[in-house]
Amino acid sequence: MTPGEYHKRVSQYIKVPEAFPTQLSECLAVTSYVESQYDDDASYQHLNKYLEKIENNSKIAEGHRNRLFYMALPPSVFIPVAKGIKKNVYSKGAINRLVHLGKELGALFSENEIYRIDHYLGKEMVKNIMTMRFANVFFGSIWNAQHIDNIQITFKEPFGTEGRGGYFDEFGIIRDVIQNHLFQDALLGQYGKSEDCTKPGYLEDDSLKNKQSVTPTFATLVAWINNERWQGVPFILKAGKALNESKVEIRIQFKNVAGQLFNTVPRNELVIRVQPNEAVYMKFNNKLPGLSFQTTISELDMTYHRRYSDLRIPDAYEALILDVLRGDHSNFVRDDELDVAWNIFTPLLHEIDSTVIKPVEYAYGSRGPKQLYEFVSSYGFRHHEQYVWPVQNVSATGPRL
């Protein structure tokens, strides 16, 4: 691309407030494009000279020419690019920071220079979990196995691979989503055609070479934390493509009320909605207004777009890149953390690959495999049959997974 073609391409993704119409041109004025090759020293040397020209024109003093490298690249070129940067573009005597998704760069950059980005760690509701837990006395009292029956972490996408099947087939849903963003027992699925046949199945993706692929596009896994606080509490992790909605949430379901005074009331739940429509709400049982003593489910609801209507919630990448510029590692993945995650998941992934487990087919646009309801129920989750969160404006009723 030429610099002009690059500006035209990125402009379509930049939102400009009506009150500040000149911001786009101001942004593009300080945005450059330099064409180069991943494995060519001359390309990196050309890039380094271009950066030096900018630094000279900006009159940045020696020792203050800090550089941030954001590697939005295929994993296969992480190492060649990192080597090219370290050899040719590394700013000596100043601060260098590298943002990426991989682990193997430790031999080239020190740990305090590396920022392993997972944009879900920059989500407002994810960052709010620490505050909710440790700034409220009542959560501190009930945040344990004595009161909590199970915890579900759900990641749902309403679209399939959409022409990325060839890329996705190398990794599958566990490596693509669960290991990065979110064990023992697992339910694996792969989406087929939608019930009305308007959406193709995974194996019909034109970019997919292996038409007998058993790569899962849906997985439900159960993890356990064997310490005093969480002994016996299943963490049910669910992630999938081509499902019925877009949703990321954490659902903490509490135990049944002891010595039921009222007949079989539903369990209390604390739901943290990460996206869309950030919210925290507690489902609790309440007397239905009127002459009877019938109970009904109600909510203590903090929906962000209503409670904080005058505040703008920044995009996760905005917040994380600002953290990098500030040198704040708190919302990034450490190398030892990454090691532990892969130590947990690698045996499962090897088992899936070596035994060639065939995933269960589910319809594009459905909630997932038909076995899902029975699977999560076997780990203690109880469905609230007719409950619909009213602020969602959802008309359908039935079990919510």
Catalytic annotation, residues: 181
Q: Select from 239, 250, 260, 263 the least CA-distant residue to 189.
A: 239
